[in-house]
A and B are shown apart, each in its own frame.
Chain A
């Protein structure tokens, strides 16, 4: 089976092992260490790590389309934000009459705007199962329509990147409008609880962190399953020689569409897990800059490895947390500088560095290598 194949793979086993070990260690340190101990992991840190894991899942989704399919999406933030908004709508409806205005069904911002009833697209979001399906469906559907139009017209390369950028920018402008019914530039916030658990308690925060880790594991295995299948090799074929792939009888545009939609859905899940942890979703998640940042994480970690994307996302965001604490104004310069340095000195990213070291350890030229040398 294509989904179980990665589990027999050494690299996936190592990845899952490290991830689960990290989940266990962080949980244990949070739960069992006394609060004044140096090893104590505060609830703030747990949530921060959960946020990193969301970004890691998002980076894996981007690496799937960029690394293996050659589609540089500069608009994946849009899918992330749509998943986030679907989750946000569910959380808003969970507030019920505990809002500032105490209206039984209408979220605060609608009462504030003098709306009399819930817009049609807000119905159903009071049910968790419906909202969770929408987390997958909303980004998936957008990717399906967008991808269908773009890939059918054989738009690729830099043109596609620009269009994805335009897509996320257009969505940002749309979501800024109060008339859209998504809370305008304030977005959705002031969440109370999720599935009946109070979002402000430490236990819920830890639960969300662990859920994010599991989602990352599942997303990683799905992506790994795709790239190690024959379809994954066809994706690489589409990336490197599109016309050739077509003349072999593969429908390139359908391969692209399938992988793109899967990636968008994973990004949506990442967004959905992100929102309850940071407590807010607003249109800034749609900003083109954010989508470009995701690409930087992947480039830094190493394209077409998946685990490189995870490393890149976590490292860059950790650096961001540290840097913006020390000197907030310098962060963008540091990020830009990092990107330039990596492109020049580490074209294959951190993962490339790891692979090089591994190769150096085991280099004994095989007869085949000598023959072609």
Chain B
């Protein structure tokens, strides 16, 4: 169609006016793509030629000994740390290295911190309210009104994370495990395409761990989930694909069984003598 035909055709929908479901382009498969990423702090190479691909809807576990670069990797993806070299793409359209933290969050990457970080002075409900996907610029935030549909959605998530009874209590009084759940709930309110979850079950009881595993596996498929975890039992219970990081690069990748039988991995985890 020529430009003229397009302009005179009353039913024509221009591409730039068409509704966009999500700006993230995953037609080519991966939702997250890290290539040759390196970063060093004062000469120490925290990340060393890291290559990692996460497919859309995948649930991926990342394990590795302390100092393997797991948290630094998350910092790079969410825009907190800039790598020295390499490229990081979200879908095939967004170069994350050119964006800042709020933009990356708005685009659809949610992050749960290693240490549960919730707003302790605010109530559980308000924590979820702030996390909710919305226009987050100054004036829309100033004039924002709590609509019934928002309230319903927050209550839904409250139900899911089991904090309904504590709805109007300050988040500061929650137990460690409850804070972890609240933070996961905040992630859900953001409706992200990709969830980065750093040690979700630290400080949780056996029972809470099971529920967390259930929740994370139920999310996969709709969203992509990357879980960094130390607890091997937990990883075994949810993992389909496992990536082992060591000294800032990928040591092994595969199913849990493949990985745990890999001689290299055994050597790293159990020391040289094993």
Contacts and interface: CB of A to CB of B under 8 A. Distances in A.
Interface string B135-173: 011100111100000000000000000000110110001
A248 B105 contact: yes
B165 A231 contact: no
Interface in A213-236: 226, 229-231, 233-234, 236
A249 B165 contact: no
A49 to B, nearest CB: 33
Contacts of A226: 142
Kindly state the interface size class of chain A when it binds its partner: 20 to 34
B111 interface: yes
A244 B138 contact: no
A237 interface: yes
B173 A249 contact: no
B101 A246 contact: yes
A368 B130 contact: no
Contacts of A249: 102, 105-106, 136, 190
A327 interface: no
Nearest to A5: B145
Nearest to A372: B173
A371 interface: yes
Contacts of B69: none
B117 interface: yes
A359 B43 CA distance: 55
- Classify the interface of chain A: helix, strand, loop or mixed: helix
B117 A241 contact: yes
Contacts of A111: none
A248 B129 contact: no
Given A237-B122, A241-B119, A248-B186, A2 B101 contact: no
Interface in B221-263: none
A247 interface: yes
A243 B122 contact: no
A98 interface: no
A177 interface: no
B162 to A, nearest CB: 12
A247 B105 contact: yes
A254 B120 CA distance: 22
B189 to A, nearest CB: 9
Contact of A230 (B110, B129, B175): B129
A241 B179 CA distance: 14
A110 to B, nearest CB: 42
Interface in A241-273: 241, 243-252, 254-255, 258
A97 interface: no
A247 B101 contact: yes
B202 interface: no
A234 B130 contact: yes
A371 B165 CA distance: 9
Interface string B77-112: 010100000000000000000000110011000110
Nearest to A304: B121
Interface string B39-58: 00000000000000000000
A229 B142 contact: yes
Contacts of B169: 368-369, 372
B36 interface: no
Given A237-B122, A372-B166, A230 B117 contact: no
A243 B130 contact: no
Nearest to A366: B169
A1 interface: yes
Contacts of B119: 233, 236-237, 240-241, 244
A2 B138 CA distance: 13
B26 interface: no
14 contacts: A230-B129, A230-B142, A234-B130, A236-B122, A237-B122, A237-B130, A240-B119, A241-B118, A243-B113, A244-B119, A247-B110, A248-B190, A252-B102, A255-B138
Given A245-B130, A250-B141, A368-B166, 16 more contacts: A1-B143, A229-B142, A230-B142, A231-B138, A231-B144, A233-B126, A233-B130, A236-B121, A236-B122, A237-B130, A241-B117, A241-B119, A244-B117, A246-B101, A249-B105, A250-B136
Across the A-B interface, the 3 shortest Cβ-Cβ residue pairs: A249-B105, A230-B144, A246-B101
